[in-house]
Structures are given as structure tokens and as C-alpha cells.
Amino acid sequence: MSTFCGLTKEYPQVALDLFSGKDVLRARTYLLSHVHTDHMVGLHSDVFARHLKKHPEYKLYCSEVTREFLLTSNKYCHLRNSLVALPIQQACDVNILNDVNSEQQQLQVTLLPAGHYPGSAIVKPIRSLYIDTTFFDPKIMYIPDRTDTERSESHGSLQVQGKVWL
């Protein structure tokens, strides 16, 4: 289950992997990392659909594969005009509407392959990296780098899975 609260700390006008709640509806740009239900809460709701219809300049960015998954389902057909597919491993500018002066601001985002599910992506804004923490153990206080994961025998199953995923 996703533990992410929706709005990004550094960019409060950008929501990621949560599409319900008053705070999230204040966002001007939306990102979806992949099509698992715990990352799509509110995406099919009438409230979110009306929000996007009222603000056609607000977009929902995702990978090309994720976009295709969404468009194959009638449950998400209301997203068609708001969906923008981004390529994997390529820096792209996403637009954020400035409500004060109605100008478009741009944030550079890179989708990195997550290897979790077809189309899944790690969303990397310039100053941050947002990853799916679905399987994190709260006892683990840091994310080991590749060298730590390969060397360490103290992390048990994390070491084995780390080698498989790396």
C-alpha cells in the first residue's frame, strides 16, 4: 500500500499518486507513477473528473505505458484530454499554472524505470526522488546504495532482493 500523502513537499502545487482530498485538489499538476490501485486513489472519482474538466490546463503526467493502460479502461476515459505521456529516462518539462499571474511555470521531471510493473516509473524532479515505498520495512532507516546492498549480509532478504532488482 502506498504511504505517500499526495502533495510533494518541494512543489506543493504538484500531486503524485493520490487524487482525492481538498489538499490534493489544490495542485495544478498531477503525476502517476504506475497503475496500481493504491497509487490511483481518487483517479476515477467524479470530484477529480469535474476538477480536471473545470481546469483543462491541469495535466496528469505518466509514462507512455501507464497512459495506454488507463485509456484501455472505461473507468478512466474522463482522463483522456488531461493525460500527457512522458518518455522514460528523458528529462521533460511539465507545466504548472501559476494562479497569481496565470503564467505557466515549468518543472523538469525525469521518469526512471522502476521495474515494479509495466510502465512503472520513479519520478525524479530536479531536487528530489520520489519512489514507491510499498515494500519498505519501517526498521530500515536508510536505503543502501548498490555497493552496500551487494556487500552487506546484515540486511537479510533486502540483500537478496537488492541483488535481484539491481
Whole-prediction pTM: 0.72
Residue 142 has pLDDT above 60, yes or no: no
- Quick: pLDDT tens for 99-128: 778 788 888 999 988 887 787 888 876 466
Q: CA-based Rg of the chain, rounded to a whole angstrom?
A: 17
In whole angstroms, what is the distance from residue 45 CA to residue 145 CA? Answer: 39
Counting residues of the chain whose pLDDT is more than 90, the rounded percentage is 36
